[in-house]
Amino acid sequence: MFENSQALAFLDIHPISLGHTVVIPKSHASTVIDLPEDQVEDVFMAVKKVTFMLAKTLGAENFTIGINHGRMLGHPDIDHLHIHVIPRFEGDGGKDIHSVVSNPPDEDVAETKERIIKANG
Hey, which residues are catalytic here? 82
Q: Which of 80, 15, 16, 85 is nearest to 50 (CA)?
A: 85
Burial of 77 (0-12, 13-18, 19+ CB in 10 A): exposed
For the beta carbon of residue 78, count every other beta carbon within 10 angstroms: 14
C-alpha count within 13 angstroms, C-beta hemisphere, residue 23: 28
